Chains A and B, each alone.
Chain A
Amino acid sequence: MQSTVRIHVTVNGADRDVDVAANTTLLDFLRDDLQLTGTKECCDLGECGACTVLIDGRSVNSCLVLAAEADAGDITTIEGLETDGLLNALQDAFLAKGAVQCGFCIPAQVMAAQYLLQRIPHPTDTEVREGLSGNLCRCGGYVQICEAVMAAADAGR
């Protein structure tokens, strides 16, 4: 029973042993302690999806996870998708399809899509919409976002 918790996490491939306050969310830990600001804070309710990251390969809203709960977890944020400075196929597809308008929701849209394509490598249009239904885009760029996900899936064929 403690107000500070020692956690061991892997973030984008790097091992970290750190003390976190019990009342810190994974989102705040990533943004404020690790300066990984690609993951966004928005509704803080689990409705907008802007804080989506992967824990052990599964998409979660990091605003609804305490950093303490992430102990022993393998965490991937948007910063972890590139390889040697090169974007992955999904990120490339977002650029190619013009799916980025203001850009605020995009890191999380990409992470949600990354999870979707892991589960369903060749989704139908309906499955893409369902898979991204937890991520809001207030610019309304959904058509291009869905096209980008489909294009990335096609590129993987």
Chain B
Amino acid sequence: MQPFDYARPATLSEALQLLDRSGPEACLLAGGTDVVVALRNRTLRPKLVVDLKRVDELRPAISEEAGWLTIAATTVIADINDDHRIRTRFRALVDAGATVGSDQIRNRATLTGNICHASPAADTAPALLAYGAVVNVAGSQGTRRVNLSDFFIGPGNTVLRQGELVSSISLPLSSERRGATFARITRRRGVDLATVSLCCIVEASGRTTFAYGAVGPKPFVVVDDSGVLADPGAGADAKDEALRRVLTHASPISDVRGSREYREAMLHVMSRRALQTSIERLAAA
């Protein structure tokens, strides 16, 4: 690993000052499961690594306030998966989190890091998108809230500006009944990136939300308000037609994990099954 300096700020303002002073020479470290790999293979060559784990404002915490559940930046995925509020209210996020790496990875990797890494295949992105997550951004100029659907620009790229960091991710606490499903295919179970991943939420109002990962340059969300998809009585043909409209937003490529054609075929099958599961879960809710 090339040499770098290491800083462990204790407060958010200290962390932001370091970022401002070092500019693009600084790199943020939370769980390290992506960053340390990049430091070793030299895709990242920072002069300064800023470890955020002792920043008071970013300490692991899941809090509920004014209709939002907020997950602080250094909260690891294992703790999110164990949180009873998330298990009962955001089931698909837990199902997605359970597929991230291994126990060893989930004990270190943070939800915020998974989002900031901006992989098209980020396991937690589809569920967060479908639940309407908001990203809380902090910089020395102030804070801003960004809808997760506006956060990703492309592979490895987000709307974060120089000197900004993500302080937390917030999920709206909906009171509406809903059924949610996460689905994912990989070549190997455990420690493999998704070939296709998705989240489907069906609400009692008839609104259906699909979000996808690994089938475009960034994870994306599509909402269907027609009611056809959510209608347990609608015919298979009508649903397939509506699903095809949803899937026009996908643009999968061929890579080591699967061909474009395979992904397109799986997208339809997985979407249909996830929709059915979500409808059943809504009925049971």
- Chain A positions within 8 Å of B, measured between CB atoms, are 1-3, 5, 21-25, 44-47, 49, 52, 58-61, 63-66, 68-69, 71, 112, 115-116, 130-131, 133-135
Contact = CB atoms under 8 A, between A and B. Distances in A.
A131 B98 CA distance: 11
User: What 7 A-B pairs come out closest when comparing CB atoms?
Assistant: A134-B102, A133-B190, A22-B6, A23-B1, A58-B107, A1-B7, A64-B36
A68 B191 contact: no
Given A65-B36, A134-B191, A60 B104 contact: yes
Given A45-B37, A64-B33, A66-B36, A133 B102 contact: yes
A10 B284 CA distance: 49
A44 B39 CA distance: 11
Interface string B67-80: 00000000000100
B18 A1 contact: yes
Given A1-B6, A68-B51, A133-B191, A115 B103 contact: yes
Contacts of A23: 1-4, 39
Contact of A25 (B33, B36, B101): B36
Interface of B: 1-8, 18, 29, 32-33, 36-37, 39-40, 48-49, 51, 53, 78, 101-105, 107-108, 189-191
Nearest to B49: A22
Contacts, number: 94
B104 A134 contact: yes
Contact of B103 (A3, A64, A131): A131
7 contacts: A1-B18, A25-B1, A49-B102, A52-B104, A64-B32, A131-B103, A134-B104
Contacts of A68: 6, 8, 51
Contacts of B107: 58-60
Contacts of B190: 130, 133-134
A134 B108 contact: no
Contacts of B33: 46, 61, 64
Contacts of B3: 3, 21-23
B27 to A, nearest CB: 12
Given A69-B32, A134-B103, A134-B191, A64 B5 contact: no
A44 B102 CA distance: 15
Nearest to B51: A69
A114 to B, nearest CB: 11
A130 B189 CA distance: 9
A116 B36 contact: no
A2 to B, nearest CB: 6
Nearest to B189: A133
A137 to B, nearest CB: 13
A54 B53 CA distance: 18
Contacts of A21: 3
Given A1-B18, A133-B102, A65 B108 contact: yes
Contacts of B189: 133
Contacts of B39: 23
A23 B4 CA distance: 6
Given A45-B37, A65-B36, A66-B32, A22 B4 contact: yes
